[in-house]
């Protein structure tokens, strides 16, 4: 094992500081239960081999070589681009095939398949792709677990999700690494009972033991998890929250990079594309906690609005139509969601609503005036105060009470009369 391998250093520290029992492939296989009536068919095999020391040394040497800037192109292997000074200094590689270059014209002329679409219309407009990383984040109680559980059912059955295509059913493994296991069982049961589509049956499973203790930072956990994924042909892993999966610290760039290395190590053991959907939380400013903006292909911000869920596609690398857009999802029966495409209420809409309501019920209290006006209560109050300051509304109430009139309906002559007639 190379002493300069940064992943090995992280693993050694984690082994010394993580007291959890070893999780092997057999215990993982016995601890995964399907959301359907019968479990995912299991195969018996030994755990996948962890990379040997010799391979680690080779990888370490290659990493050191690249980091030191020693890799360059030999004069025999690559011709300079047209117009480049041919007398430029050349240095050589031990293996010239390690680097390859093409002109822009050559590069653009070749067709190369993109990552397979898991959710989305096609490779050029995909919400989630094979081997991609998705981070769903929000405050506690924002609805992350319910949202990803709904998504799990759609991916496992090939059912369209909120207008996005799911080209075919995929096998999904869920690792709920936080909260009581009994409560999550009840959520899954309620979801199954309200589900209107095909039964996920063998295509969806949940890790049940050890509950809340799986660590992607541990080599033995990764090896056992990879063995189960391979044996049962899992294509999508839903896991979270990140902080319980072996993330160290508050999420500095180096700490996030170390966790990212654990994901990469898992994927290398699996040996084929694996979509990973991670659940995460916000910081005190309501942003994704830690330096996670760079890592995922898709970054989704979830907010509980009190009557539904607002989903913001904060980042969608493979979909220009989703990137930087927001959805309103109304809660529906059976722990499902219905997309609400009605336009958002603006301040102009609220202003118009308040003035119309005042004209209909002049001299009424704020409770009566605000009731028919659509919009957030705080925003409606802010628009009311602005209209009062601008003189578009007149308040004839006493003390903290409101008796609101449209300015055009009040004349200076009847000011005193209006004040005398204000209801107490």
The structural domains of the chain, with segments of one domain joined by +, span 21-33+118-340, 347-420
What pLDDT sits at residue 250? 86
pLDDT, mean over the chain: 80
Q: Is residue 279 predicted with pLDDT exceeding 50?
A: yes
Helices and strands: H and E segment counts in the chain: 12, 14
- Which pair of structure tokens corresponds to residue 14? 């984690």
pLDDT band at 298 (very low <50, low <70, confident <90, very high): very high
Beta bridge partners of 277: 134, 238
Cis preceding linkage at 210, omega within 30: yes
Q: Is residue 338 predicted with pLDDT exceeding 50?
A: yes
CATH code assigned to 21-33+118-340: 3.40.50.300
Residue pair 373/326 in contact (Cβ under 8 Å)? The answer is no
Mean pLDDT in residue range 322-327: 93
What pLDDT sits at residue 13? 44
pTM for this predicted structure: 0.66
Q: Is residue 370 predicted with pLDDT exceeding 70?
A: yes
Residue pair 404/373 in contact (Cβ under 8 Å)? The answer is no
Mean pLDDT in residue range 1-29: 47
Q: How far is CA 337 from the centre of its chain?
A: 17
Helix ranges (DSSP H) in 271-390 = 347-360, 366-370, 377-390
Residue with tokens 């299991």: 42
pLDDT band at 12 (very low <50, low <70, confident <90, very high): low
Percent of the chain at pLDDT exceeding 70: 74
pLDDT band at 98 (very low <50, low <70, confident <90, very high): confident
In this predicted model, which residue has the larger pLDDT, 71 or 362?
A: 362
Tens digit of each residue's pLDDT (9 = 90 or more) over 189-223: 999 999 999 999 889 999 999 999 999 999 999 99
Q: How far apart are CA 9 and CA 13, in angstroms?
A: 6
Q: Is residue 405 predicted with pLDDT exceeding 50?
A: yes
Q: How far apart are CA 128 and CA 85, in angstroms?
A: 44
- Which pair of structure tokens corresponds to residue 342? 């009605």
φ and ψ at 263, to 5 degrees?
Answer: -65, -40
What fold does the segment set 347-420 form as a domain?
Arc Repressor Mutant, subunit A (1.10.10)
Q: Which of 44-58, 68-82, 255-269, 402-416 has the lowest mean pLDDT?
A: 68-82
Q: How far apart are CA 176 and CA 380, in angstroms?
A: 39
Q: How far apart are CA 122 and CA 116, in angstroms?
A: 8
Residue pair 147/311 in contact (Cβ under 8 Å)? The answer is yes
In this predicted model, which residue has the larger pLDDT, 120 or 39?
A: 120
Q: How far apart are CA 223 and CA 75, in angstroms?
A: 43
Mean pLDDT in residue range 365-391: 92
pLDDT band at 409 (very low <50, low <70, confident <90, very high): confident
Q: How far apart are CA 113 and CA 125, in angstroms?
A: 14
What pLDDT sits at residue 130? 95
What pLDDT sits at residue 5? 54
Percent of the chain at pLDDT exceeding 90: 58
Q: Is residue 180 predicted with pLDDT exceeding 90?
A: yes
pLDDT band at 95 (very low <50, low <70, confident <90, very high): low
Tens digit of each residue's pLDDT (9 = 90 or more) over 140-171: 989 999 999 999 999 999 999 999 999 999 99
What pLDDT sits at residue 186? 95
pLDDT band at 342 (very low <50, low <70, confident <90, very high): confident
Residue pair 168/212 in contact (Cβ under 8 Å)? The answer is no
Q: Which of 77-86, 118-127, 169-178 has the lowest mean pLDDT?
A: 77-86
pLDDT band at 78 (very low <50, low <70, confident <90, very high): very low
Q: Which helix (H) or strand (E) holds 27?
A: helix 25-31
Tens digit of each residue's pLDDT (9 = 90 or more) over 24-70: 444 444 455 454 444 444 443 333 344 444 444 443 444 444 344 43
pLDDT band at 388 (very low <50, low <70, confident <90, very high): very high
What Rg value do the Cα atoms of the chain yield, rounded? Answer: 29
pLDDT band at 411 (very low <50, low <70, confident <90, very high): low
Nearest to 288 by CA among 241, 254, 331, 329: 241
Q: Is residue 81 predicted with pLDDT exceeding 70?
A: no
């Amino acid at each position: 094992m190379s002493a300069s391998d940064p992943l090995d250093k992280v693993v050694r520290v984690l082994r010394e500081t993580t007291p959890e029992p070893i999780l092997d492939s057999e215990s993982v296989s016995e601890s995964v239960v399907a959301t359907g009536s019968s479990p995912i068919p299991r195969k018996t095999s030994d755990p996948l081999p962890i990379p040997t020391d010799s391979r680690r040394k080779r990888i370490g040497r290659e990493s050191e070589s690249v980091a030191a800037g020693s890799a360059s192109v030999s004069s025999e292997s690559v011709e300079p681009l047209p117009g480049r000074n041919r007398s430029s200094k050349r240095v050589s590689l031990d293996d010239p095939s390690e680097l390859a270059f093409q002109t822009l014209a050559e590069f653009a002329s070749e067709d190369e398949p993109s990552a397979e679409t898991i959710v989305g219309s096609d490779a050029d407009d995909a919400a989630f792709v094979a081997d991609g990383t998705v981070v769903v984040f929000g405050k506690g109680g924002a609805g992350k677990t319910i949202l990803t559980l709904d998504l799990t059912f759609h991916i496992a059955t090939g059912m369209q999700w909120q207008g996005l295509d799911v080209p075919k059913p995929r096998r999904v493994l869920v690792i709920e690494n936080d909260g009581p296991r009994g409560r999550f069982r009840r959520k899954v049961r309620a979801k199954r009972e309200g589900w209107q589509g095909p039964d996920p049956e063998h295509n969806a499973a949940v890790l049940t033991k050890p509950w809340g203790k799986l660590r992607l930072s541990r080599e033995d956990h990764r090896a056992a998890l990879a063995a189960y994924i391979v044996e049962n042909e899992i294509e999508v892993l839903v896991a979270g929250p990140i902080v319980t999966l072996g993330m160290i610290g508050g999420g500095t760039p180096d700490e996030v990079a170390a966790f990212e290395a654990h994901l990469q190590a898992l994927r290398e053991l699996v040996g084929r594309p694996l979509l990973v959907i991670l659940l995460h939380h916000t910081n005190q400013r309501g942003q994704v906690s830690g330096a996670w903006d760079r890592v995922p292909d898709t970054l989704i911000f979830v907010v509980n609005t009190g009557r539904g869920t607002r989903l913001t596609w904060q980042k969608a690398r493979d979909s220009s139509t989703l990137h930087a857009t927001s959805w309103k999802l109304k809660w529906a029966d059976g722990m499902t969601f219905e997309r609400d495409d009605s336009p958002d209420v603006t301040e102009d809409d609220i202003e118009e609503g308040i003035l119309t309501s005042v004209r209909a019920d002049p001299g009424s209290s704020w409770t009566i005036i605000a009731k028919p006006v659509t919009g957030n209560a705080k925003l409606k109050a802010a628009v009311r105060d602005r209209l009062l300051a601008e003189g578009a509304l007149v308040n004839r109430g006493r003390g903290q009470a409101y008796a609101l009139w449209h300015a055009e309906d009040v004349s200076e002559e009847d000011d005193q009369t209006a004040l005398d007639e204000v209801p107490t």
